[in-house]
Every structure is written in structure tokens, then in C-alpha cells.
A and B are shown apart, each in its own frame.
Chain A
Amino acid sequence: MTSAVRLTGVAGAPGIAIGPVWRFDAAEPALQAASRQVPNQRPADAIEAAAAETARQLESLASRLRDLGREQESAIFDAQSMMALDPGLLDDAIRRAGEAGDPAEAVRAAAAAAAELLASLDDEILSARAADVRDVGARICRVLRGEVLVLPAVPSIAVCDDLPPSVTAEIPPGFLLGIALAGGSRTAHAVILARSLGIPAIVGIDGLIAAVDGRSAPSAQPVTIAMDGERGEVVVDPGARVTTEFREREADLALRRANAAGLRDRPAATADGERILLVANIGTPDDAPRALAARAEGVGLFRTEFLFMSRQTPPTETEQVDAYRRVLEAFGSERPVVIRLADIGGDKAIPYLDLAPEQNPFLGVRAIRLAYANPDLLLTQLRAIWRAGAAAKVVPHVMAPMVATVADVELLISLRDRARDTLVGKGLAVAERMVTGIMVEVPSAAFLAPELARRVDFFSIGTNDLTQYVLAADRGNAALAGLQDALHPAVLRAIAGIVAGADSAGIPVAVCGELAGDPAGALVLAGLGVDELSADAGSLDGVRAALAGVTRPQLDALAHAALAAVDAETVREMAGALLGPARTPNAAGPR
């Protein structure tokens, strides 16, 4: 008699799957001998022949996906087929193999070295290609050794550390029910592929491999697992009761998806008709189409750090005008875009700024604080925003991060006006005005809310940093996970004070932290009187559906009870109860 083991990871792609495990080990995958053996030859010839064969296989994968209309994924394999024939990679492998070395080992080492180089780049898209290079190396090795992968024989859930994209694509459609990874991140290829295939994926599941391998040893029967990609839950050996529970969740998810799609055509509102502005967080102009497709009513946080990173010289004013204009034009005059001024500090190496290393960069000279000694960076950015607004014929919104004092706000406003005067002096076109706000994320700003509110047009609460500063718990420290939940009543009481300060001056309050994209968090925030929620495009459907299921009196009662609570767990339970039975956190699960 065995009992179910419940594990949790990070939700990657939503959906429910229940099925047998297909174990894949990227370092030592299950292999079988291929029908065609590679003849004996010099290492250099063997490597070149195997690379050519690998490139052919990858090209045929690419053309198969193109025929299925999956252009974006086919491009991954096109690039991989060129990597297989890359002169730098092959020369390195041939050099490593020498006259009598193991060609497969030489290819593996050369691919690992090339992957290292890409992984070291300060560019998320390119460094993610490191896994693709390793995968190409592994494929050439298999050809050299005359081996092929053992693929699942029945529809299965892949369980592994990480699943290379070419392996995912080789599994025939319908044979992959879900992907459960012990490693990986939400931006892993396997997760992107899972979303496009509409199957669930969970990453970073502690104890997954041990739990699955521990079960499969004694019997020949493959282990069964159940997974919920939305909550990040995996149950090994689920049994009849848990299977029924997951099937119910599946039906509920289908219903919620149908409802969410139906709700997209209307602006976000509560069941009794109170509007809440639902907008998106974006990191680059390329994120705009996804936000528009999710029916974002604007952008509540346009991060601009992408312009300033990984370069030797600061971005020019023209370069910035171009980037801001693209986003302002994409959203038009009906959907406001809030541009956040550069949030840069000693935690980032920026060669052209000459920042002194700091013991504690998150409590150091960052963001608006940099402008006291060196205003040029912000002045250039503000001039670019004035010009982009004129070019796009819209009123741009800006906000400064890390504002702690009234002096910070006065500096922001004087720089804004100075930037405008410079442009007007040169005869350049500027936007008619600039709606100016601040991020409230430092406790002192929360205490000074009434004074700050009289001087700006809006507040936007950054709940991630506010939580870190209120609870004095580093966001990146896994040992402090219990102190990182923004639903902690201490944080909620700070938010209530910020909203009261804003109300006294009649300005709106937005929230652009992760809490705004969490359906439970969104209800608490709406209850506390927040006017606008800004979250990743992928979270908007869930928040819209949560708001549509509650009334203002219910939200008021929730906020009242949450402010009286003493810990985050209690608040989560209360909000979960309002979300409906399908969303109530499981008593056995984590927070």
C-alpha cells in the first residue's frame, strides 16, 4: 500500500494532466542502438559526418513544424541545424579529439564551452540559447555513438531536470500530456513550448526526481502522477481520491477559461459594476502586442532598464525617443502608458555611470537618488519622453521609483520642467503635458503619503519592494520566504495608509507589483480602495474573472478582515474563500 506524495514547484503553464511518467535524463538519456552504425574512421571525419547528419535531422524537424504552421518553434531548429555545422564548434571539437581521442566526448566538451560563452552574456534571450547549443552537442554525440533516444510509447508526463526543445519536438503530438521539471525556470524553452501546445508545465519541483525514481524501482509498472500547472502542484501515485479531485479542477479550469474569454470583451469590473482599471506591466516595446492581445487597458509599468543595460555608452536621446514612441503609439490616446524612469543602482554594473560598489545597493544611491549629483541621465530620459509624447500625439505618464522624501518629488518636478524648457528653447515639439507620479515602495513615502500626494498626479505602489522594506527581508533570500508575502497585514496596513493619503488629495492609486496579478491579492487590493491593477499580460484574465465574481460590499468586508489579521496565511485563506471553492488553498499544501 503506497500513499500519495504531494510536491510543489513554480507554475509554468496552466492545465491539468494525469498519466504515466516518462523519465528523461539529459545527462544519461535512455538510448537504443540505431539500425545504422557509423563505420570506423578518423575522429575528424567521424565528427564532420555526424554533424552533417545531425543538421539534416534538425532541418527536417524544422520543416515538419513549419508545415504544421508552428513558425516560431521551427526557427529554433533552423538555428540549431546551423549550430550543428558551425565552423567554430566543429574546429574546436576536432582539435579536442586529436588523432585518437573519443570524438563524442570532444563534441560534448566543445558544445559545453560554446554554451558557457552564450550563458555569460548579459542578454536573457541569447543566454537562453546556451541550452540549445548543449542539446546540439548531445545530438551529435548520439549520432557518433550510433544511438537514438527512447521516446514515450504511450501518452505520458515528462519528468526530468530540464527538457531540451528538440527532444520535446521529437515526441509525436498527443504523446506529451505535461512537463514536470525539477530544474528550469519560467522562461525555459520547455515552458514556452508547453504554453504553445496547451499542456501544463511546472518547474523547480524540489524532490521530484527522488520521489518518482523511488517509486519506479520495485515494480515494472510506470509511476502515475497528477499535475496542476496553474497551482504548481504535483502528486506522485495520486490514487482514486486525488485523481477525482484533479479531474474536478480540470472541469473547473475549462469553465473558468470559457468565462475569462467571454469577459475579455468588457472592461474589468466587479459583479455590481464598479470599474477597476486593469493594465499591463511591460519590459520592452516588444511586449506591447501581448499586452494588447490580453486586453490591457493601458500600461501601468513600462520598465526602461532594458535601454541602459549591457552597453559601454548611455543610450542617446533619439534612441530612447524611438523606444518610447513605439509603445505610446501601440497603445494610442485611449490607453495610458506609465513610463518608469530608470531604476538603476549599485546592484548593476553600468560602465558609463561609474557607480561606486555598495555594501547594500537596495538601500543605496539608486534611481532618483542618483540625480542629485548627476542629473543628466534622468534629464535625457525626460527629454526623450517629452518628444516621444509629441511624436505619438499622446500625453505620456511618468513615474519615479525609490522616492523617499518630499525633496525627491521636488527634484523630479524640477527636472521634468527643465527637460521641457530645454526642448522648447531648441524649437522642438513637446507633449502638451506630462502626467507625473511616484512609486510608493519605501516606508518613509508611505508615512508621508498625504504630503507627497499633494505634489503629484498619481501613486503606484510597488508591492515587491514595499514588502521587502516593511518586513526587512531581502527579496532574493530563499531562507526568508515566510517574510516575502505581500499579503502580510503589516504591508496591507501600509497600503491602506497610502490609499488614505492619496484620497485626501484626490489622486488615483495603482499597484504594479506581483500582488496585483495574483487573483487573491487583487481582491484584497481592490478592497483596500486601489483604483488600478497592473500585472503581467498572462495574469489579466485571472484577475478580471476574480473581480467579476465579487461585489463591493464583499470586497469591503474582506479588506476590513484582512487589516485586522496578524499573518499572511490568514489573509490568503480569507481571500481564497471569496474566490470560490476551486481556488481555496489546500489545507495540506504550502501557503
Chain B
Amino acid sequence: MRADEIEVRNPSGLHARPAALFVKTAARFASAVTVQNVTTGAAPANAKSILAVMGSGAARGHIVRLTVDGPDEDQAISVLHDLFASGLGEDLEA
């Protein structure tokens, strides 16, 4: 199992559009992927479910914990980490 903690830097948090991109990417991997909002102390959510990801209520500045467990976990954690760091399709400086 691989895990990673990362700060949400999107201006409106994980709202519909960045959440959709994140879920689409997570769904490409065979491994089980979860995302947990550490800042609010919510339970880990299935990262392949857009409702669960939006339900984690991750706002700008919150810390989320990603866990990946399965055959392609090494590739999955690095792709998902880079996706978060690059702003999930949003311009973080705008």
C-alpha cells in the first residue's frame, strides 16, 4: 500500500470540475484508491466515486491523504500526486 498527504490548492477546493478529473484518473487504475480529508477529520472516501470525493468537503488549504492499494499502486500514486500538484486542471495562480 502507498500513501501520500497533499494540500488542496484549488481556489474553490475539490468542487465539481477538479473532482471529476481526479475521479476519472483514479478510475483508470486497478488499485483501490481512497482520499481522506485530514483537516476536517472525515472518514476515507472511495476516490473512484465523484459523490464520495465531493462529499469529503475538501476546501482550499485542507490537507488530504491519498492511499493506493493494488497491483499498479506505484504508478497510481505518482500520477495522482502529480495531478494534484499541477492543480487538477485549474490555474492555481488565477
Q: Hey, which bits of chain A sit against chain B, CB under 8 A?
A: 75-76, 78-79, 82-83, 86-89, 114, 117-118, 121-123, 125-126, 129, 132-133, 284-286, 307, 310-313, 315, 319
Interface digits, B57-68 against A, CB 8 Å rule (1 contact, 0 not)? 101011000000
Q: Give the residue name and chain of the A residue nearest to B23 (CB).
A: A82
Asked if B75 CB lies within 8 Å of chain A CBs, one says: no
Interface footprint category on B: 20 to 34
Of all chain A residues, the one with the shortest Cβ separation from B16 is: A79
Q: Which residue of A lies closest to B13 (CB)?
A: A123
Q: What residue of chain B has the Cβ atom nearest to residue A330's Cβ? A: B94
Q: How far is the CA of A431 from the CA of B52 in the complex (A)?
A: 43
Which residues of the other chain, A, contact B59 by a CB distance below 8 angstroms? 123, 310-311
In the complex, the answer to whether B17 meets A75 with C-beta atoms within 8 Å is: yes
> CA–CA, A123 to B11, complex, Å?
13
- Supply 20 further A-B pairs (C-beta < 8 A) apart from A79-B19, A126-B55, A284-B11: A75-B16, A79-B17, A82-B23, A83-B50, A83-B51, A86-B50, A88-B46, A88-B51, A88-B52, A89-B51, A117-B55, A118-B54, A121-B57, A123-B59, A125-B12, A126-B13, A126-B15, A310-B57, A311-B61, A319-B61
Q: How far is the CA of A126 from the CA of B13 in the complex (A)?
A: 9
CA of A422 to CA of B15, assembled, Å: 37
Contacts of B13 in A (CB 8 A): 123, 125-126
Contact B16 A118 (CB under 8 A): no
> Which residues of the partner chain B approach A89 to less than 8 Å between Cβ atoms?
49, 51
CB distance from A122 to the nearest CB of B (A): 7
A79 pairs with B49, CB closer than 8 A: no
Question: B32-73: contact bitstring with A at CB < 8 Å (1 yes, 0 no)?
Answer: 000000011100001011111011010101100000000000
A530 to chain B, nearest CB (A): 33
Contacts of A284 in B (CB 8 A): 11
The answer to whether B12 and A286 touch across the interface, beta carbons within 8 angstroms, is yes
Q: State the 10 A-B residue pairs at the shortest beta-carbon distance, nearest first.
A: A79-B16, A88-B49, A121-B57, A82-B50, A75-B17, A79-B20, A125-B15, A86-B51, A114-B51, A286-B11
State A87–B23 Cα separation when bound (angstroms).
11
Q: List 21 A-B contacts (CB under 8 A).
A: A78-B17, A78-B20, A82-B50, A87-B49, A88-B49, A88-B52, A89-B49, A89-B51, A114-B55, A117-B51, A121-B55, A122-B57, A123-B57, A125-B12, A126-B55, A129-B15, A132-B16, A310-B59, A311-B39, A312-B41, A313-B39
